Amino acid sequence: MFRLAHISDVHLGPLPDVSYRDLASKRVLGYVNWQRNRRRHMHDAVIDTIVADIKANTPDHLAITGDLVNLALDGEIEMARHWLETLGPPHDVSVVPGNHDAYVPGAFDKACRSWAAWMSGDGINTPVDRNAFPYLRVRGDVALIGVSTARATAPFMANGFFMEGQAKRLGKLLDTTAGQGLFRAIMIHHPPVRGAVPQHKRLFGIARFHKIIRRHGAELVLHGHSHLPSLFFIGTRSARVPVVGVAAAGQAPGGKHPAAQYNLFDIDGEKGDWRIRLTRRGLTGPAIPPSDLQTLELGADAGAAMAAS
């Protein structure tokens, strides 16, 4: 059995010192949002509690689907790198970037350089950049495939982009890993599902992503961005792929979104007969430690039944 933990939307705080020059961009809107909302509901103590519970459940690997930071300030990107180092060796932690990690032009490249050890495919020694995605890591019988949808966008927008070049590379990786009999888990920040988030936050390229999944197959898709513990499915009834979201890892109880959670997947079986048990663990109150909130079986038969209900 392989145990995979999944968190997203960490939004590490507090913000470092911000200069007027830093705010001469889209960041001024994010800064106002942080001061009015996020700093009251996104707390390091919450993240620390979630991480401690993850480690207590001894996963074989941890997947982080983006938004480690808030405004993608240089100090935030460096702080996130130090935080990643506390989670374990880069071999055991995989990251894909989110829209906040590419908040303004140039930020994406800085994050790629700083977090390269957690966003590099096996045996890849070249610098991480936009063309390095999707990347592939194989751990046991599980292929972890990291897709990037992150791109700097205009003020008031938080869209993601899944373009043709990355789609072709993803299709090849899915075929290769299927031929090796591996369980294929795709990590992506923006939910590749219509209606999962408002229009100004949606993914451009959802149809393209669905086409790739239907043509090449996959066993699991993990995403963040919505700050919601969601479950969707892609594909036909005979080949239904679960698409699983998660509440923000730094969300304190009492906000408009669910309090911090993480997903724990127990993966067992073999090609054609994979069994997936999803356990959602998270907070239910300010002084209450994480506990099981929901347990689901995500095999093909379970997926068809749940989609029909």
Query: Please, are residues 87 and 51 in contact by the beta-carbon 8 Å criterion?
Result: yes
Helices and strands (H and E) in the chain: how many: 8, 14
What is the rounded CA–CA span in Å between residue 270 and residue 41? Answer: 41
pLDDT for 308 equals 28
pLDDT for 307 equals 33
CA–chain centroid gap for 291, Å, is: 21
- Is the whole model's pTM more than 0.95, yes or no? no
pLDDT for 239 equals 81
pLDDT for 309 equals 26
HSE-CB at 32 with a 13 A cutoff on CA atoms is: 8
Looking at residue 101, which CATH number applies to its domain?
A: 3.60.21.10
Query: Please, are residues 134 and 147 in contact by the beta-carbon 8 Å criterion?
Result: yes
Q: What average pLDDT values come out for the chain (309 residues) when binned by 10 residues?
A: 97 68 57 54 78 97 97 93 96 98 95 97 93 97 98 92 98 97 98 96 98 96 97 84 96 88 97 94 87 86 34
Q: Residue 128 belongs to what domain range?
A: 2-308
What φ, ψ does residue 215 adopt, rounded to 5°?
Answer: -80, -40
What is the rounded CA–CA span in Å between residue 171 and residue 100? Answer: 27
Number of separate domains in the chain: 1
What is the rounded CA–CA span in Å between residue 233 and residue 162? Answer: 18
What φ, ψ does residue 27 adopt, rounded to 5°?
Answer: -60, -25
